[in-house]
Amino acid sequence: MNTIVDARGLSCPQPVLMTMDEIKKASQGEIEILVDTDTSKENVSRAAESKGWGVKGVREEGEGYRITIVGS
Amino acid sequence: MGQLKNFFASRWGIIGVGAFIGVLAPLLQKWGNPGNMGICVACFERDIAGAVGLQRAAVVQYMRPEIIGFVLGSLIAALLFKEFRARTGSAPIVRFVLGAFAMIGALVFLGCPWRALLRLAGGDGNALFGIAGLIFGIWIGTLFLKSGYNLGRSEKTHTSVGWLLPLTMLGFLVLMLIFPQINGEPKSGILFYSLKGPGAMHAPLLISLLVGLAVGFVAQRSRFCTMGAFRDLILFRQTHLFWGILSLAVVAFITNLIVGQFHPGFVNQPVANTMEVWNFLGMVLAGLAFALAGGCPGRQLFLAGEGDGDAAVFVLGMIVGAGFAHNFALASSPTGVGPHGIAATIIGLLVCLFIGFTMRKRV
C-alpha cells in the first residue's frame, strides 16, 4: 500500500511541503500525491525530481491528478 | 499545445516570461506610465480605487487597464489550456485582511514587489531597503509555513463564482469606455481622473490593455510569482521562480539603459522617498502578508483569472486597503511616510503575526 498525500484544495506551497515531508519520512518506495491544479502538479513533480525522486506517472483523476513518485 | 505548456513550466520558459515583462514594463513607462512604475500591481490597484472614488487623493486616480488585462489575459490562457477551475472557501476573510494590509505595507514603501524590482532596475537605491524588507517578511512567512500554517482547503464551486472578478474587470473596462478621460477634467461621469501626479501619467489605453493581456497570458502559463520566487528559494532551495524575477530585473535594467531611463541614486527618485527604515518595514509587512496569502499581488490577479475566488477576495482586499491607506493618510509620498503610516505598519505586522500563529492546525 503506497503512502497517499491528499493535497487537493490546498494552494502552494502546501502540496510541495506535504510531499517533501513524506519524502523525508519514506526515503524510498512509492508515494502518491493527489492535487487539483496544474500548478500543484508541476510544483510537486519538480520538487520530487529535485530530491532525486522519479515521477512514475501522472493520471487524471476526478477534478485533478494523481501523481506517483518513486524514490530508490 | 502540450509542448507550449511544458515550455512555460521550464526554466527557459520562466526566464522568457521575466524578460518579456522586463522589456515591456520600462517601455510602458516610456509610453507614459510614471517613473519606475511601468507596472506596479499595488500602485495600479490603488489608482483603480481612486478612479471609483474609494479613495480621494487627487493625484492617484486612474482606471489602470494593465490590471484589467492581467486578469483577463490569465482568464483567456486558463480557458484555452483548460485550466479554468472555479474554486473558493479557503479562509476568504483572512485573505481579504491580508490583502488590505499587504496594500498598506506596499504603499508605505511605495510599490509592490514588481515595482521594487523595477525601481532597482531604474537605479533607485532606496528599492534595496524595500527588497531586503520583502525578503525578510517572506522569511518570517516561511517560518509559519514550516510550523504548519495554512489557510485550509478550497472547494470546487459553480463556474460563475470564478467568473466574478474577471467580469468585474470587464465592467471596469466598459466604464472606462463609457466615461473616457476628458482633457483637463478631474471627472468623467462617475470615474475620477487625476489631472496631475502619477495618476495623470499613463500610456494610451489600448497599449496598456494589450500589454496587460499579454503579461496576464504568459504569467498564467508560467505561474510567475515574485513572492514565490523568494519563498521557494528560502523554503526549498528551489530556484525555478527566482530565475523569473532575476530575468525581469536584469532585462528591465538593460532596457532602461537603452531607452535612457536609468538614473542611479537615492534622492529625488520618482515616486519614492529616502526613509530607509520605513521602506524596509513597509515591505516586511507586504512580504509577510503575501507569503501568508500564498502569492504576490500579480499572482493573485492571475489566480483570480483562472477561477480562484479566494485570490479574487485578496484582490478586493487590496483595493479596499488602498482606500484606507489614502483616506487615513497611511500611504507614503516623496516627502516621507504618511502621518499614520508607522502606526498602520505596526498594526499590520501584529495582525499578520496573529494570523500566522493562530492558523497552524494541520489539515
pLDDT confidence bin for B362, thresholds 50/70/90: low
Assembly ipTM: 0.94
Tell me whether residues A13 and B231 touch, CB distance under 8 A. yes
Tell me whether residues B153 and A9 touch, CB distance under 8 A. yes
The residue type at B182: I
What pLDDT is stored for residue A2 in this prediction?
81
Q: Is B244 helix (H, G, I), strand (E, B) or coil?
A: helix
Domain range list for chain B: 2-358
CA B4 to chain A, closest CA, distance in angstroms equals 14
Structure-model confidence comparison of residues B14 and B362, the more confident one: B14
What pLDDT is stored for residue B157 in this prediction?
97
Going from the N-terminus, what domains does chain A have, and what CATH number goes with each? 3-71 (3.30.110.40)
Q: What is the mean pLDDT of residues B109-124?
A: 98
Angstrom CA distances, B244 to A7, B75, B209, stand at 26, 21, 22
What pLDDT is stored for residue B102 in this prediction?
98
Angstrom CA distances, B266 to B10, B34, B128, B214, stand at 37, 17, 10, 33
Handedness of CA B109, B115, B117, B119 (dihedral sign): negative
Which chain B residues are Cβ-neighbours of A10 within 8 angstroms? Answer: 150, 153-154, 363
Task: For A46-55, write each residue's pLDDT tens digit.
Answer: 999 999 999 9
Which residue is closest to A11 within chain B, CA to CA?
B294
Residue B250 makes CB contacts below 8 A (sequence gap 6+) with: B22, B121
Q: Given a cut of 90, is residue A63 above it in pLDDT? A: no
Q: For residue A70, how many other CB atoms are within 10 A of its CB?
A: 15
Percent of chain B with pLDDT over 70: 98
What pLDDT is stored for residue A61 in this prediction?
92
What pLDDT is stored for residue B171 in this prediction?
98
Which chain B residues are Cβ-neighbours of A44 within 8 angstroms? Answer: none
Lowest mean pLDDT among A50-64, B81-95, B115-129, B167-181: A50-64
DSSP letter (8 states) at residue B58: T
Task: For B203-247, write each residue's pLDDT tens digit.
Answer: 999 999 999 999 999 999 999 999 999 999 999 999 999 999 999
* Selection from B272, B358, B296, B229 nearest residue B70 by Cα: B296
What pLDDT is stored for residue B1 in this prediction?
45
What pLDDT is stored for residue B141 in this prediction?
98
Instruction: Point out which residues pair with B225 in neighbouring strands.
Output: none
Are A48 and A30 contacting, i.e. CB atoms less than 8 angstroms apart? Answer: no
Are B279 and B44 contacting, i.e. CB atoms less than 8 angstroms apart? Answer: no
Q: Given a cut of 70, is residue B4 above it in pLDDT? A: no
Q: For residue B277, how many other CB atoms are within 10 A of its CB?
A: 11
What pLDDT is stored for residue A72 in this prediction?
79
Which chain A residues are Cβ-neighbours of B87 within 8 angstroms? Answer: 9, 36
CA A10 to chain B, closest CA, distance in angstroms equals 5
| Chain B contact for A9 (CB, 8 A cutoff) | yes
Q: Given a cut of 60, is residue B270 above it in pLDDT? A: yes
- For chain B, list residues whose CB is within 8 angstroms of any CB belonging to chain A: 9, 81, 83, 85, 87, 90, 145-146, 150-156, 223, 228, 231-232, 235-236, 238, 240, 294-295, 308, 310, 363
* Selection from B17, B178, B164 nearest residue B25 by Cα: B17
Task: For B152-193, write each residue's pLDDT tens digit.
Answer: 999 999 999 999 999 999 999 999 999 999 999 999 999 999
Which of A10, A13, A17 comes nearest B153 by C-beta?
Answer: A10
Q: Which three cell numbers stand for residue B359?
A: 492558523
| Alpha carbon distance B39, B344 (integer Å) | 25
pLDDT confidence bin for B331, thresholds 50/70/90: very high
Q: Given a cut of 90, is residue B3 above it in pLDDT? A: no
Are B231 and B291 contacting, i.e. CB atoms less than 8 angstroms apart? Answer: yes
Task: For A4-35, write each residue's pLDDT tens digit.
Answer: 999 999 998 999 999 999 999 987 899 999 99
| Alpha carbon distance A71, B231 (integer Å) | 25
Q: Given a cut of 80, is residue B136 above it in pLDDT? A: yes
CA dihedral B354, B87, A41, B218 (to 10 degrees): -100
Mean pLDDT (chain B) is 96
| Alpha carbon distance B238, B231 (integer Å) | 9
Q: Given a cut of 90, is residue B129 above it in pLDDT? A: yes
Q: Which three cell numbers stand for residue A70?
A: 518513486
Angstrom CA distances, B352 to B26, B53, B105, stand at 33, 28, 11
| Chain B contact for A34 (CB, 8 A cutoff) | no
Tell me whether residues B90 and A37 touch, CB distance under 8 A. no
